[in-house]
A and B are shown apart, each in its own frame.
Chain A
Amino acid sequence: MATLKVPITQNDHIRGPAKAPITLVEYGDYECPHCGRAHPIVNQVRAFFPARLRFVYRHFPLTEIHPHAELAAESAEFAGAAGQFWEMHDALFENQNRLSITTIFLIAAELMLPETALRNALETGQFRNKVRNDFVGGVRSGVNGTPTFFINGVRHDGPYDYASLVAGIQMRAAADART
């Protein structure tokens, strides 16, 4: 059974109540079409457990096959430093079919993020280590493709359509409540 080796900390991007009994972690890649399809599903799942679930997103860019994945991840971190991680995250997935450097900068402009600072951050690799740490932590936790989900620290090996994710979460939550 593959388990999450890197605990959730304040450095993570967390959506939902901080003390929620259920934690759903996704390792994802903004250019991966499967992650793109999972994005609205994750939102539905969050809406199903509004008070009981927190969602954590970590980067797992497959840079050799997805040429924009690394820059997209670093841009999301840049937005995160300005308190707008989730706005950038949503926009990247929603515009995945036209993901490019231009798209990334258009999204940043829309979010009123300073263009020069973003350009600088990407050129100097300001957030490269943060993204790499997510990736390496994912590898150590048994991430074997994107997206990979962990429910309360245990890798979810089944399909990730809405019904399967909700069922997986309910089963894990019930098992955890018994112990």
Chain B
Amino acid sequence: MSSILAAGTEAPDFTLRVTPDQNLTLSDLRGRPVILAFYPADWSPVCGDQMTLYNEILPEFHKHDAELLGISVDGAWCHAAFARDRHLHFPLLSDFEPKGEVARKYRAYRTSEGVAERALFVLDRQGTIVWSYCSPIAVNPGADGILDALEKLSGQASSHGHLESTDHAK
């Protein structure tokens, strides 16, 4: 089994295409918790696929001020079509060129299939991984682990008085 980057590791920064003509840089999101959801491919043929599920849960993530990013090796046009079809309200990033480079940095790439693992990372407001989980590729991991991690983060932030982030400057 793989050993994806663990809690305590600084999350490797990256810039990826989020639409055919826009990029997103991870470090621009400092100051907010970030959920990175690597997944193998768009268009899984089931109703409650992972991205559809997270789309429904988005309001719960937002209660923790967290930003959700889906990442797969699919191209930006494929993501655009998938997001439109499923009415997704969060960004899908294309780890497309060089293929899987970001997934590799998080040790969440399956070389044999050429796709990302079903790997989840929760980053704190400073960009450090506080929780990570790699699910068997065929099993949708759900969102309970993500919400537990976000709750812990919110608890720490309020008890240490860090909730007011000072890191709003770009």
Interface residues, chain A, CB within 8 Å of chain B?
2, 5, 29, 32-34, 62-66, 135-136, 139-146, 157
- What is the total number of residues of chain B having a CB less than 8 Å from a CB of chain A? 22
Q: From B12-20, B31-39, B101-109, B135-143, give the one contacting chain A.
A: B135-143
**Given A2-B142, A139-B142, A144 contacting B48 (CB threshold 8 A):** yes
CA distance A65 to B52 in the complex (A): 8
Known: A65-B87, A142-B144, A144-B48. 7 other contacts (CB 8 A): A33-B47, A34-B46, A64-B88, A64-B89, A143-B142, A145-B48, A145-B49
Interface SS, B side: loop
- Let me know if B47 and A64 touch, CB within 8 A: no
CA distance A34 to B46 in the complex (A): 9
Most buried by B among A5, A32, A135, A140: A140
* Chain A min CB distance to B111 (Å): 26
Residue from the list B57, B140, B144 in contact with A145, Cβ < 8 A: B140
Chain B residues with CB under 8 A of A2: 142, 144
- Let me know if A157 and B139 touch, CB within 8 A: yes
* Chain A min CB distance to B27 (Å): 29
Chain B residues with CB under 8 A of A140: 144, 147
Residue from the list B55, B86, B89, B141 in contact with A144, Cβ < 8 A: B141
Q: Is B60 an interface residue (CB 8 A)?
A: yes
- Let me know if A145 and B47 touch, CB within 8 A: yes
